[in-house]
Chain A
């Protein structure tokens, strides 16, 4: 089975064609945000204020990289556990967020939101963070530098390896795997 090549911005048709277990190589722009940044993003959303990046079509990567060594684009940058962001994700997807990348289970409200909004949840390779760093060609902090590793970063990635966990039809690879 060959990998599916995707480039941002992602459109609904592309996302609806993805199925759980599909291997994807993603290129383009993605934004890192984890616990602290999500709290702030949703606060801005609720107050009707401008977010650090445009949500429609955007991809959020749940990641807090290790510090960037001299001469490198970024430090190691694998995914963190996505479930901690579950309370925030439906609101962001309602506002246009197209896909999220992390590792681990999402709750039912995120799975339902993926169906309602035609959004997809991908897993990146947990713990293979030096490998993922090689896919990052540009990295820039665009909001809340005081959050350190948790700041929002704009990354340009090339061929980032991902696996579809939750598709737009309400399926879940993690559940399917253990039912096999």
Chain B
């Protein structure tokens, strides 16, 4: 038995996600910002996070995007293997939804050709990651990813001898070097293992995990806690003005890798850690 879904429904869903994800933070991110505010003692850090929190209400009331950088559209698809997609081309349907959402929602079109820097004028193409899963549903996750934080992200092919200490050093150095640039408080997504192209994907997916949730593996959960504590002692603070709120969370995803390699990727998200999902 297979179930059918028309690409028109996918386009409509993407349009809605593009607009709503740019105007409203996920609850876990909003709650983490409030917790960070309550944990601050430095007056400048307090007022800075107060303004970041106030911005959420203004964006909602005024129907404005939270940030003028409404990102590159990153779309994760979990396609049930019993699902049949009908009525047209899936990739085209997604890009059509992106173009529609960024136009209707008065969102900034930030996508240019890499060398000539010519704007595509509708924020397409999206970066699309597909995964085939059991079932007959389609889960779409829409992630508007800003350029400033993306620029501060890093990939290293460490020597396996670097070990856990080398991994920690690389992650903390990436955050330290980024400093105020990626708009802290940040979310730190880490991918360890896989290979040269898979580690960064793991890091990006790690950004989507609910803040406050615990990693399945106990050792990884402990490593996340240790890294978050170390990062929040760097004193970069909200917007780099100092204080305890450099990061809201460190999320690590792992995958087995070749015994000659140790890939580590750090993908940084700004405090406007936007993402929204829908299941069709």
Which residues of A are in contact with B by a Cβ distance under 8 Å?
A: 1, 21, 23, 36, 63-69, 72, 75-78, 80-81, 83, 103-105, 123, 125-131, 133-134, 148-149, 161, 163, 173-174, 176-178, 180
A-B contact pairs, 28 of them (CB 8 A): A23-B47, A66-B70, A69-B63, A72-B62, A76-B66, A78-B68, A80-B69, A103-B183, A104-B148, A104-B240, A105-B180, A123-B240, A125-B52, A126-B183, A126-B270, A127-B271, A130-B66, A131-B51, A163-B48, A173-B240, A173-B242, A174-B240, A177-B242, A178-B176, A178-B235, A178-B236, A180-B235, A180-B242
Establish whether residues B183 and A148, one from each chain, have CB atoms under 8 Å apart when the complex forms.
no
- Do B106 and A177 have beta carbons less than 8 Å apart? no
- Give B85-116 as 1s and 0s: 1 = Cβ < 8 Å from A's Cβ atoms: 00000000000000000000011111000000
Contact across chains for A75 and B106 when beta carbons are under 8 A apart: yes
A68 to chain B, nearest CB (A): 7
How far apart are the CA atoms of A105 and B119 in the complex, in Å?
27
Q: How far is the CA of A55 from the CA of B54 in the complex (A)?
A: 34
Complex formed: what's the CA distance from A123 to B236 in Å? 14
Please, how many angstroms separate the alpha-carbon atoms of A131 and B65 in the complex?
10
User: Is B207 in contact with chain A by the CB < 8 A criterion?
Assistant: no
**What is the bound-complex CA distance between A149 and B123, given in angstroms?**
12
Q: Which residues of B contact A (CB under 8 A)?
A: 43-44, 47-48, 51-52, 54-55, 58-59, 62-70, 106-110, 117, 119, 121, 147-148, 151, 176, 179-181, 183, 234-237, 239-243, 270-272
Docked-complex contact A148 and B109, CB < 8 angstroms: yes
Given A104-B179, A178-B234, A130 and B58 contact (CB-CB distance below 8 Å) = yes
When the two chains form the complex, which single residue of A80, A81, A105, A131 contacts B54, counting CB atoms closer than 8 Å?
Answer: A131
A63 and B108 alpha carbons, distance in the complex (Å): 12
Residues of chain B within 8 A of A178, CB atoms compared: 176, 179, 234-236, 242
With a cutoff of 8 Å between Cβ atoms, the chain B residues found around residue A77 in the complex are 68
List residues of chain A with CB within 8 A of the CB of B240: 103-105, 123, 173-174, 177
**Contact indicator B148/A66 (Cβ below 8 Å):** no
Indicate the member of B64, B117, B237 with the most A CB atoms within 10 Å: B64
The docked-state distance in angstroms from the alpha carbon of A131 to that of B270 is 17
Bound-state Cα–Cα, A163 to B106, Å = 29
Chain A residue with minimal CB distance to B60? A130
Say yes or no: B180 contacts A104, CB within 8 Å.
yes
Question: A178 CA to B237 CA in the complex, in Å?
Answer: 9
Given contacts A173-B241, A173-B242, 9 further A-B contacts (CB under 8 A): A67-B108, A76-B65, A103-B183, A128-B52, A131-B55, A133-B62, A149-B108, A177-B235, A177-B236
Listed from nearest, the 4 A-B pairs whose CB atoms lie closest are A177-B242, A104-B181, A126-B183, A128-B55
Contact call A127/B179, Cβ cutoff below 8 A: no
Residues of B within 8 A of A131 (CB): 51, 54-55, 58
Compute how far the CA of A66 lies from the CA of B241 in the bound complex, rounded to whole angstroms: 26
> Chain A residues near B59 (CB, 8 Å)?
76, 130
A160 to B112, CA, bound (A): 30
Q: Give chain B nearest CB distance to A132 CB in angstroms.
A: 8
Q: Which residues of B contact A76 (CB under 8 A)?
A: 59, 64-68
Task: For the complex formed, measure the closest distance between the CB of B275 and the CB atoms of chain A, giving whole angstroms.
Answer: 15
Interface centre among B44, B52, B109, B180 (most CB of A within 10 A): B180
Q: Hey, which chain A residues are within 8 Å of B271, CB to CB?
A: 127
Contact between B68 and A81, CB atoms less than 8 A apart = no
Complex interface: chain A residues within 8 A of B242 (CB): 173, 176-178, 180
Set A64, A81, A133: member contacting B108, Cβ < 8 A: A64
Please give the distance in Å from B244's CB to the nearest CB on chain A: 11
Separation of A58 and B248 alpha carbons in the complex (Å) = 37
**A163 to chain B: which residues have CB within 8 Å?**
44, 48, 239, 241
Give the docked Cα–Cα distance between A76 and B121 (Å).
18
Q: Please give, as numbers and ranges, the residues of chain B lying within 8 Å of A104 by CB-CB distance.
A: 148, 179-181, 240
Contact partners of A161 in chain B: CB under 8 A: 51
**A21 nearest CB across to chain B (Å):** 6
Choose from A72, A105, A125 the contact partner of B48 (Cβ within 8 Å). A125
CA distance A133 to B66 in the complex (A): 10
